[in-house]
Amino acid sequence: MNDKLKNTLLTAIHEGAKILRHYFEGSFEIKSKDTLNNLVTEVDKKAEEAIINIIQGEFPSHFILSEEVGELSTESNYKWIIDPIDGTVNFAHGIPICCISIGLELEGKMIMGAVFNPFMNELFFAEKGKGAFLNNKPIHVSNSHQIESACLVTGFPYKWATIDTDPIKVFEKFIRMGLPVRRLGSAAIDLCWVAAGRFDGFWEYNLNPWDIAAGYLIIEEAGGKITNFKGESYSVYDKETLATNGKIHDEILKVIS
């Protein structure tokens, strides 16, 4: 069963990637969703349709949660969580830091996930209990033990009204510590780059399950740690996300809180 699930996931993510490559830096329709810069393109919808068609072709009874269509609800214990383009603003501006993210949940637990940036040819994959991989090579989080030498990455939500803490003030704390903090514009890539040891930590507010479902498992399988901002066990449905190499996790929590 797991082999069929994996093959379906990888087939779906590669099919979506074909659509992204075809339209990248070309002409396509762009619309705003709930805020001006929360974008959706016709490419999001076409990639999403192709991905869902492949999944439903193999597993027609499975539950699907996807960014653009929402819930295609069933009674299945399997749930596919899909972001057809994570980093849509980047994609719309011809910036090749964007990806497809597909996670698979079984009875509320992530069991498989893949994140694919077709423009950098980087395919991240993890299966529960079997490690994390980049282009079939094992990856691990960094070994940095001190926050003073950390390289961090973050993102900012489009809407801040529901957040008690000002994200800019938290960002400023790290900057005043002299730490390098990057903003790539794709939470799924941020998580994978922590998993690969490129960054030591990532935090962000108000993410959605499709942003982080695959990256969450990839972080854990690469030896990292992911929690909410209270340091509690994490769910992909949480609105506070902190992912680190595990060694500087508590120190970053102190700064954020």
- pLDDT digits 0-9 by tens, 40-94: 678 889 999 999 999 999 999 999 999 888 889 899 999 999 999 999 999 989 9
Res 39: pLDDT: 60
Between CA 130 and CA 19 the distance in angstroms is 30
Answer whether 0.85 is exceeded by the pTM.
Answer: yes
Average pLDDT, stretch 148-162? Answer: 84
Choice among 31-45, 100-114, 131-145, 166-180 with the minimum mean pLDDT: 31-45
DSSP character string of 196-214: TTS-SEEEEES--HHHHHH
Higher pLDDT, 39 or 7: 7
Q: Specify the 3-state DSSP secondary structure of 255.
A: helix
pLDDT reading at 34 higher than 60: no
**113: β partners:** 103, 126
**Which of 24, 67, 12 minimizes the C-alpha distance to 45?**
67
- pLDDT digits 0-9 by tens, 172-224: 999 999 999 999 999 999 999 999 999 999 999 989 999 999 999 999 999 99
Percent of the chain with pLDDT over 90: 80
Res 81: pLDDT: 98
DSSP character string of 130-191: S-EEETTEE--------GGG--EEE---S--TT-SS-HHHHHHHHHHTT--EE--S-HHHHH
Q: Looking at domain 2-138, which CATH architecture does it have?
A: 2-Layer Sandwich (3.30)
HEC profile of 86-140: ECHHHHHCCCCCCEEEEEEEECCEEEEEEEEECCCCEEEEEECCCCEEECCEECC
The yes or no reply on domain 147-256 and CATH 3.40.190.80 is yes
Res 215: pLDDT: 98
**Which of 194, 30, 187, 178 minimizes the C-alpha distance to 103?**
187
Phi, psi dihedral angles at 213 (to 5 degrees): -55, -50
**Which of 88, 253, 65 minimizes the C-alpha distance to 173?**
253
pLDDT band at 32 (very low <50, low <70, confident <90, very high): low
Average pLDDT, stretch 14-22? Answer: 95
Res 140: pLDDT: 98
Average pLDDT, stretch 15-23? Answer: 94
pLDDT reading at 38 higher than 70: no
Average pLDDT, stretch 111-130? Answer: 98
Average pLDDT, stretch 141-150? Answer: 95
Choice among 22-31, 227-236, 246-255 with the minimum mean pLDDT: 22-31
Q: Provide the residue ranges of all domains of the chain, joining segments of one domain with +.
A: 2-138, 147-256
Higher pLDDT, 34 or 243: 243
**Which of 141, 240, 155 minimizes the C-alpha distance to 195?**
141
pLDDT reading at 155 higher than 90: yes
Res 147: pLDDT: 96
Between CA 254 and CA 218 the distance in angstroms is 24
